[in-house]
Structure 1
Amino acid sequence: MLNVSSYAQGAWVAPDSGARAIPSAITGEIIATAGNSTLDVAGMHGYAREVGGRNLRELTFHDRARMLKALALYLSEHKQALYDLSYQTGATQSDHAFDIDGGIGTMFVFASKGRREMPDAHIYLDGELEQLGRTGSFMGQHICVPMQGVGIHINAYNFPVWGMLEKFAPTFLAGVPSIVKPATASCYVTHLCVKLMLESGILPDGALQLISGGVGDLLLHTDAQDVVSFTGSAQTALMLRSTPHLLENSVKFVAEQDSLNASVLGADAATGTAEFDLFIKEVHREMTTKAGQKCTAIRRIMAPQASVEAVIDALSARLAKTVIGDPRDPATRMGALVSRSQCDDVLEKAKILGTEAERVFGDPNNFDVHGADREKGAFLPPMLFHCADPDGAQRLHDTEAFGPVSTIMPYRDADHAIELLNRGKGSLVASVITRDGALARKMVMGAAAWHGRLYFNNSDSMAESTGHGAPMPHMVHGGPGRAGGGEELGGIRGVMHYMQRTAIQGSPDILTAIGDQWVPGAAEYTGGPHPFTRTYHQLRLGETLYTKPRTVTLQDIETFAHFTGDTFYGHMDEDAAKANPFFPGRVAHGYLLLSFAAGLFVHPDPGPVLANTGLGNLAFMKPVSPDEEIKVRLTVKKKTPRTAQYGQVRWHVTVTNQDDDLVAEYELLTMNAYEAGESTA
């Protein structure tokens, strides 16, 4: 018997006498209890804000990203314990790849993106500078800072690890503490994951708390600095988002709820093609993974009328080979649902679907269970329905049986398929299996507005594709309408949900001080040693080198043209160049100017500059004619630590002519060594 504790204000709180009993999905026996009616949720909220929030905001984005990576590595080392316990939820070993491995992988992605796409700073610069005045002395910049509240994460039972970590990772990276409330039916797995994370010693105090059981009046202690993120049924989401306190205090509420996801077999994917086989494989996987208990599972299957019978036959044959049973047995391909009550709910919804569709595979009263007692465990067979008239159906497009249940229906043409897709009134994902690019574009134009993700796959991409039902941390997860109207993940977009976007306005010096990034027009520092002779830590923002001028000759232009092979007429033919509205006559190559610019500012001796790693935002403003001059201004714009030995320096470079007209502008990226004996982890 597991007594599933909560973790509140730095201490574990055991279940009390009113705790709820939790059965095994495999045997039906009570394996755990969870819940404490006296849990101080108000104190948890205050502790998260005062202790967790303060500790997290003292760290930079890179500090928090490194912690996420360390946590992911620690969980990877201990995931077997999570596997062993997760079997009791009905999950098979392959299901663990979606939940446990997927959750850990999500942490790795956000750790990587935090280091690569966010600054080693406390403020995130969102977008480009805006010049608000004529001369550039008054500028604007959007920034994002951590909200000063709490991320309250109310999760569903089907993904006790991924469901927590996919919310926790972006929240933590943003600098906001989390209070996690998993669904009670599988909270014992989440409890173990949280316990491991806390035992790692990586997390700052107050960054993560756990409620095992009910949330009490937690939501009544929230305000506009908090974010409530919910995954579950539409009914519960409506109840929570309608809480008057949340509405009155403008508390941000994110919901991911019921979703009638669909998959479309393209007209070109006929029987015998690789695409047809792929379609059957995808649908089968989505019906059986996690016993169909996935928010992204395929609930509606759409095929051209001529292919419907072939799809039913092929899918039924594949489903018939699916071994249902004890998920701990390697022979099992589909485990149990989370509980008997969930089985009853699925059967009730299947009965509703049966009023508009015929069940063509799977009898819930007659199926085999391998290695377990069908009457005691929460087992159901995959059930496939066929609706011959989807236009006349209603419940088919508004009822989700959250289990191994799906319905196939015919469509006449692409417009009809789009109409059927959109009758679901919003989904997390819709997929189309096709090689027809025109069909794919038509689907996007007609259906994208109703779906959070459109997944296209065919024989070209299937070897690397992640699957219809696999939300990737790089891409948005969420959907409009019935799917809840929320958005999670999506790389750094997901982090922004826990940050406040604010417009700042002021002088270049003020914006430089706020954003820790030099703004053109801000103070410059000149006259010291050549900046390429200075280590990463010695350089400061605004440090600037002005070079001597260099004359660009006609011989330079012709030599560069013949040496590189770039004999474009604008550089080699005077009359043709003059006929071009962009040129006064023959002009220098843009890349010749960049090469000459480098020659003007590069220091030749070995030193702290280890490598030039790229150019960014390159633009050519004015052509340079033979016998004109160019000169360069090189300014330290931004510094970002990269390893324990070196960091990246972003230089703002302008190339001007003899009249001080801007010829070219770009950003130069270099890797610069740290000072001897000094490092940044």
Structure 2
Amino acid sequence: MRQHDTLFIGGEWVAPAGTGTIDVISPHTEEVVGRVPDGTAADMDRAVAAAREAFDHGPWPRMTFAERAAVIGRLAEIYAAGQAEMAALITEEMGSPITFSNLAQAPQPLGMLQFYAALGEEFAQEEQRPGLFGPITVRREPVGVVAAIVPWNVPQFVTMTKVAPALLAGCAIVLKPAPETPLDAYLLAEWASEAGIPAGVLNVVPAGREAGEHLVSHPGVDKVAFTGSTAAGRRIGGICGEQLKRVSLELGGKSAAIVLDDADLASSMGMLAIASLMNNGQACVAQTRILASRRRYDEVVDAVAAMVASQPVGDPADPATGIGPLVARRQQERVEGYVRIGMDEGAKVVVGGLDRPYDRGWYVAPTVFSGVSNDMRIAREEIFGPVLAVIPYEDEADAIRIANDSDYGLAGTVWTADAEHGMDVARQVRTGTYGVNCFMLEANAPFGGYKASGVGRELGPEGLGGYLEYKSISRLG
């Protein structure tokens, strides 16, 4: 078992203020695999003070972008050497299949570090512009102390969407990992210290909701970067709005995969399996609404059902596993509750249902519903598990209307033999990310959502901009 008795604050491993602990429980075995301190409001105060000191008086925000980029580059090298360790750790603590952890949970955060290290090499802190009465200097300065609050589903991916650009900008950070997945954050803290990131620039305090809200409300925090549920995002956005505090929110999704009539179902299903079932369905970008024309509806239902049924369910550490357990018992019960809701709404279970695959572990049966209309709860609410709803449409315009008929706007896909036409469809769907015959996120392109899927963008140069303040300086003479 991985036992941590300290918190990472001010560049040191320090004793917590309280005596509470957080047990990290394997979703596969239901056994405790780790234990960390349960951070308190006093711990958050200490972490913010350390970050404040590092930002207000330390060297990090006063270095050039290129100097900070060199340190981030060293962290990337350490991260690259430890990728396999990080992937295995995330699989252990939250049940992500090891194949997905090796594909995304560790490599994508590494890619973000590498991207921002390269971006910072030539990024200009000041830009000269001509003005009406003389030259204008536009200066980019770090926003200050950042509270980074991350969820459990892709913990390092979400951590790095915040930490990598915040580091390059020159900010100091207090990272609050989710109680379910704090172990990977400890490993990151060790690597950051080894890379030479100055004391207080990155602080790690695992904690629950109350201490997290204390951190959000703290007057010493200049910006909050949050990923999680839309309900929690509304609460955090409200607090930041009252304080006029900078905030970015990456929230939920209910993404639609539009299967056009010319799509080759045999070739599409392999990629759609990743797009819709990645990370056991615990992904905000998962394509959980499958839109099929009435002309090919039964054929698409059969293809989706066969694809889901073919996914091996089992031990997430086994490379043969396609779908592992959900992160916690409450998540298992939540997803099964939605399966009951779908059945009560009149949708038909084609694959899966309420029979659990195993007696031990927080597994649910991967499930496909047919006969779904877009006004059903299983089509409108984020389930966050391996549950897919196949929805019929009349024509392409109707498919686009259904895709846009959602409170969310985070992701989406279209599946077609004509990729150029797929681009036309992509331009009409109101989401922040989209895929034509695929779905992927790139470190050099912005990621975020429309509508209730969030506020702001992460990744790419746009993600760096979220951690900068812009100052205009006019000069005469």
Return 91-100 or 75-84, whichever deviates more. Answer: 75-84
1:235–1:286 distance in 2 versus 1, CA, 3 Å: same
**Which residue matches 1:260?**
254
Q: Identity of paired residues, percent?
A: 26
Equivalence for 1:83: 87
Q: Counterparts of 1:122-141 in structure 2 under 5 Å?
A: 123-125=125-127, 129-133=129-133, 138-141=134-137
Q: Is the 8 A contact 1:151 1:227 kept in 2?
A: yes
Aligned to 2:365, the other structure's residue is in SS state: coil
Query: Hey, what does 2:108 align to over in structure 1?
Result: 102
- 2:148 maps to which residue? 153
* Alignment root-mean-square deviation, CA: 2.2
CA contact (8 A) 1:61 1:174 kept: yes
Partners of 2:434 and 2:41 lie apart in 1 by 45
SS of residue in 2 equivalent to 1:25: coil
Cα gap change, 1:156 to 1:375, in 2 (>3 Å)? same
Q: Secondary structure at the match of 1:476?
A: coil
Asked if 1:227 corresponds to 2:211, the answer is no
The 3 A distance-change label for structure 1 pair 414 and 31 is same
> How much does 1:338 deviate?
1.2
Matches within 5 A, 1:661-672: none
In 2, distance between residues paired with 1:404 and 1:388?
16
Aligned with 2:154: secondary structure?
Answer: coil
For the residues of structure 1 that align with 2:378 and 2:356, how far apart are their CA atoms? Answer: 24
Residues 1:413 and 1:19: Cα distance change in structure 2 (over 3 Å): same
Aligned pair partner of 1:493 in 457, 462, 477: 462
Q: Which has the larger radius of gyration?
A: 1
Partner secondary structure for residue 17 of structure 1? coil
State the number of aligned residues: 467
1:196 aligns with 2:191: yes
Correspondence for 1:363: 353
User: Following superposition, which runs of at least 4 residues in structure 1 exceed 6 angstroms of deviation?
Assistant: none
Does the Cα contact within 8 Å between 2:11 and 2:202 map onto a contact in 1?
Answer: no
> Offset at 1:317?
1.8
Aligned to 2:205: 211
Q: Structure 2 stretches of 5 or more lacking a match?
A: none
Q: Does 1:419 align with 2:401?
A: yes
Secondary structure of the residue that 1:418 maps to in structure 2? Answer: helix
Cα deviation, residue 415, structure 1: 1.5
Return the letter of the residue paired with 1:478.
Answer: G
How do residues 457-496 of structure 1 correspond to structure 2 at under 5 angstroms? Answer: 457=437, 467-468=438-439, 470-489=440-459, 491-496=460-465
CA distance in 2, matches of 1:129, 1:353: 58
- The answer for unaligned runs of 5 or more in structure 1 is 368-373, 458-466, 510-681
Question: 1:336 and 2:340 equivalent?
Answer: no
Measured after TM superposition, the shift of residue 441 of structure 1 is: 5.5
CA drift of 1:33 comes to 2.7
Paired residue type of 1:111: A
Structure 2 Cα separation of the partners of residues 487 and 424 of structure 1:
20
Conservation of the 8 A alpha-carbon contact between 1:338 and 1:378: yes
Question: For residues 534-553 of structure 1, what are the structure 2 equivalents within 5 Å?
Answer: none
Asked if the contact 1:384–1:408 (Cα under 8 Å) also holds between the matched residues in 2, the reply is: yes
Give the Cα separation in 2 of the matches to 1:474 and 1:356: 43
CA contact (8 A) 2:146 2:174 kept: yes
Alpha-carbon shift at residue 7 of structure 1 (Å): 1.0
* Greater per-residue helix proportion: 2
- The CA deviation at 1:76 is 1.3
Q: Is contact 1:191–1:212 with CA below 8 Å preserved after alignment? A: no
TM-superposition CA deviations, 1:509-564 (whole Å, max 9, x none): 7xxxxxxxxxxxxxxxxxxxxxxxxxxxxxxxxxxxxxxxxxxxxxxxxxxxxxxx
* SS of alignment partner, residue 447 of structure 2: strand
Q: Given that residues 52 and 204 in structure 1 are in contact (C-alpha distance below 8 angstroms), is that contact kept between their aligned partners in structure 2?
A: no
Aligned-residue offset at 1:439: 4.2
Using structure 2 for the length normalisation, give the TM-score.
0.92
What is the CA–CA distance in structure 2 between the aligned matches of 1:421 and 1:171, rounded to whole Å?
Answer: 34
Cα–Cα, structure 1 residues 247 and 306, in superposed 2: closer, same or farther, change >3 Å? same
Choose from 7, 29, 32 the match for 2:31.
29
The equivalent residue for 1:399 is 381
Counterpart-to-counterpart distance in 2, 1:475 and 1:394 = 33
Q: Is the 8 A contact 1:157 1:185 kept in 2?
A: yes
Which residue, 171, 176, 180 being the options, matches 1:176? 171
Whether the aligned pair in 1 keeps the contact of 2:99 and 2:319 (CA below 8 Å) is no
Q: 1:394 to 1:322 in 2, by over 3 A?
A: closer
